[in-house]
Structure 1
Amino acid sequence: MPLMLPHLTQLVTDVDGAWAAAIGGLDGLLVEGHAAADTDLGLLVAEHAGLMRVANASYSDTLGDVNPRELYLRGERVSVYLHPITPDFFLLLALDGRSNLGQARLYGRAAARGLEAQL
């Protein structure tokens, strides 16, 4: 697990507007995380794991055996980008209002590929 933290720290550094990155399980548990702001990453992962489970179930029910490749939730001041790493784990990237979604997607996919072998 110690090799995961550098990926997450670098992701927050590389993506404009990113303030946290975490690996979560679909069971809602935080595996590893890095935050540049004071936040409860465990709670953030738990809440978004539920959204990932619902998205997976919805896509599976309506489109057959299809799972979302990424999920982006945008709020007024905060956004969250989610990218599956394996069927049981996902990458969460928390972004502020000045974030760059293109960077989040590009660097998030690369980080997910790098983390997949470690899970």
Structure 2
Amino acid sequence: MLSTLKQLVGEVDGAWAAAISGLDGLLVESYSATDVDLSLLAAEHAGMLRSVSQAYSQTLSGGQAREFYVRAERLSVFLHPIGQNFFLLLALSGRSNLGQARLYGRDAATRLEAEL
């Protein structure tokens, strides 16, 4: 799992960290090119992903969330669910390449699902 996360960060322009987290917010595995602790980032985004998934599937009848992307001034985060209980988190700089994040993120999520 760690090698897949490292490869993902290396492949995506602007990526600086990747992690696998449970929807409960607990970090399973992570890799960061910086000294940042990804536990808080994973926990906060797990709550957001749970809320978005519930809103889309129950309130809006849109089905399960397949991707979730949040962009702020200095931080962007791409989330991709892995099975029913986990998700991939890809942390990006404000000037990142969202297309690469989506393409490589989906591929990595598929490979990681086989490992979980």
Deviations 1:8-29, CA, capped at 9 Å, x for gaps: 0000000000000000000110
Q: Which runs of 5+ in 1 are unaligned?
A: none
Question: Does residue 18 of structure 1 match 2:22?
Answer: no
User: 1:40-69 CA deviation, whole Å, 9 max, x = no partner?
Assistant: 111111110000110111112223371110
Given the alignment, which residue of 77, 89, 92 partners 2:86? 89
**Pair 1:72-2:69 in alignment:** yes
- The corresponding residue for 1:63 is 60
Size of the aligned set, in residue pairs, is 116
Q: TM-score, normalised by structure 1?
A: 0.94
CA RMSD of aligned residues (A): 1.0
5+ residue gaps, structure 2: none
Alignment TM-score, normalising by the size of structure 2: 0.96
CA distance in 2, matches of 1:37, 1:51: 24
Is residue 112 from structure 1 mapped to residue 109 from structure 2 by the alignment?
yes
Structure 1: how far apart are the matches of 2:83 and 2:60? 20
1:101 is displaced (CA, Å) by: 0.2
Contact between 2:57 and 2:65, CA under 8 Å: does it hold in 1?
no
For residue 11 of structure 1, give the secondary structure of its aligned residue in structure 2.
Answer: helix
